[in-house]
């Protein structure tokens, strides 16, 4: 988080959130508290790691989709899968609606392989025993 300079001074590494912003957030929650520098360092590192992993994973999802644009949906999916976090207000994570399959009108009420009502003459022909033709010996 800090890089030592040749003159012995320390500069803050640019990141997702600064120590100053963390201090402001703590003051908003409770003005009687403040962060110790070591705690602020850990929180800054944690926030940077969190954002970095979300962006990496989201970018991989975008690439998998064949797109070069990172979308809110990519990040939402990462947060949901990795941490179980649901972020309201940015659309649904539900899969897109399945395409409606057109049914074969001749398939019957249960589909092509399911039970159907056969005409009586066909049904009676199917229920007769099958006579096997004689096999010739070679």
Mean pLDDT over 74-91 rounds to 85
Provide the domain limits for residue 17.
11-90
In a domain, 23, yes or no: yes
| pLDDT at position 50 over 80 | yes
In a domain, 124, yes or no: no
Mean pLDDT over 109-120 rounds to 57
Q: What is the pLDDT of residues 7-37, one digit of tens each?
A: 444 445 567 788 889 889 999 999 898 889 9
Residue 39 belongs to domain with CATH number: 1.10.20.10
* Total domains in the fold of the chain: 1
Do 43 and 49 contact (CB within 8 A), yes or no?
no
Do 124 and 132 contact (CB within 8 A), yes or no?
no
Mean pLDDT over 38-54 rounds to 93
Percent share of the chain, pLDDT over 90: 33
DSSP state of 109: T
Q: Give CA torsion, residues 50, 55, 58, 63, to 10 deg.
A: -150
Q: Which candidate, 8, 11, 35, 5, places its Cα nearest to that of 23?
A: 35
């Amino acid at each position: 988080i800090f890089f030592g300079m040749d003159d012995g001074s320390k500069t803050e590494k640019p990141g997702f959130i600064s120590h100053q912003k963390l201090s402001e957030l703590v003051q908003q929650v409770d003005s009687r508290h403040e962060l110790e520098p070591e705690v602020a360092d850990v929180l800054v590192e944690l926030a940077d790691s969190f954002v970095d992993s979300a962006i990496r994973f989201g970018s991989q999802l975008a690439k998998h989709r064949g797109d070069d644009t990172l979308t809110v949906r990519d990040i939402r999916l990462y947060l949901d899968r990795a941490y179980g976090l649901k972020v309201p207000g940015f659309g649904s994570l539900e899969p897109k609606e399945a395409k409606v399959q057109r049914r074969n009108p001749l398939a019957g009420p249960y589909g092509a392989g399911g039970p159907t009502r056969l005409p009586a003459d066909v049904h009676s022909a199917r229920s007769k025993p099958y006579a096997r033709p004689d096999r010739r010996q070679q």
